[in-house]
Amino acid sequence: MWLWFSKLGSPKWFYELSSKWLPWLVVFMAVAMTVGLLWALLFVPEDYQQGFTNRIFYVHVPVASISLACFPLMAGAGVITLVWKMKLADMVAKSAAPIGAWFTAVALITGAIWGQPTWGTWWVWDARLTSMLLQFFLLIGVIALRSAIESPDAAAKACALLSIVGAINVPIIKYSVEWWNTLHQPATDLTMNENGANGPEIWVPLLIMIVAVYSFFVISLILATRNEILVRERRSQWVMDIVAREKV
């Protein structure tokens, strides 16, 4: 267990393993994304209330739910950085922040585009929308904090702490629609519903899109982390070997 743990923490090991897995993951993501998008945008039946407007659901929900995974990921990596000082954990955390910020921004924007025709407004300061905006600012804060501190070690520690604090916001976002009254509707219950709503024609394409967007997130994170590894390990022999071999 501890051997596995320390092996996982080795940037070289991660770089080599991800080289092997990445092509498969990209193919998988491309297939799922194509099937999911075509299905969601062309074949999902017209909603009895919203017509075709709710097809944005198939982009908004996967992006928003995966953006919530970012802070727990960064907080987990932060704890590993602070306690075990594992280099790879901080590289992942650093790479995750901008990706999470983009996912959060896309969730906010698609939400606004969905809100305008259905609710009648782009934005309302309800608990769900406000806490999501706070997550966006917290992620921008983490990115800014990292670039504001010159020493990489000090920056890693400060960002780890801010990520742990920021993760407290995630359950607030998740349960905001249940704890308070909001304009945003509660999460759709995808387990079989006795009143006939959210049947398989609704949730199957959603599931495919969630899998596709999740793969996209993981691929982006792996690519960014690999870049970070090459930059930080540029003085180690194995990176020099790669640079020499690939003539980059």
Residue closer to another protein (CB basis): 29 or 86: 86
Q: Is 197 in the site for another protein (CB under 8 A)?
A: yes
Q: In which residue are the tokens 């990445």 written?
A: 22
**What is the rounded distance in angstroms from the CA atom of residue 223 to the CA atom of residue 16?**
12
**What is the rounded distance in angstroms from the CA atom of residue 64 to the CA atom of residue 174?**
10
**Which DSSP category does 123 fall into?**
-
21: which residues sit within 8 A by CB, 6+ positions away? 222
Letters for 115-144 (x = contact with another protein by CB under 8 A, - = none) are --xxxxx--xxxx-----------------
Which parts of 79-98 interact with another protein (CB under 8 A)? 79, 82-84
Q: Is 107 in the site for another protein (CB under 8 A)?
A: no
Closest approach, Cβ 107 to another protein, in A, equals 16
67: which residues sit within 8 A by CB, 6+ positions away? 100, 103, 104, 106, 107, 135
Letters for 32-71 (x = contact with another protein by CB under 8 A, - = none) are -------------xxxxxx---x--x--------------
Dihedral of alpha carbons 144, 146, 147, 151, sign: positive
Q: Is 168 in the site for another protein (CB under 8 A)?
A: yes
Q: Which of 19, 193, 227, 236 binds another protein (CB under 8 A)?
A: 193
Query: Which window, 25-33, 90-98, 100-108, 165-173, contacts another protein (CB under 8 A)?
Result: 165-173
Query: Which window, 19-27, 90-98, 99-107, 180-188, contacts another protein (CB under 8 A)?
Result: 180-188
- The two tokens of residue 98 are 């901008």
Q: Is 183 in the site for another protein (CB under 8 A)?
A: yes
Residue closer to another protein (CB basis): 18 or 54: 54
Based on its alpha-carbon atoms, the radius of gyration of the chain, rounded to whole angstroms, reads 20
247: exposed, middle or buried (Cβ count in 10 Å: 0-12, 13-18, 19+): exposed
Closest approach, Cβ 40 to another protein, in A, equals 12
Distances (CA, A) of 237 to 8, 78, 85, 153, 241: 19, 27, 22, 22, 6
Q: Is 31 in the site for another protein (CB under 8 A)?
A: no
The site for another protein (CB under 8 A) is made up of 45-50, 54, 57, 79, 82-84, 117-121, 124-127, 161, 164-165, 167-168, 172, 179-183, 185-189, 193, 195-199, 201-202
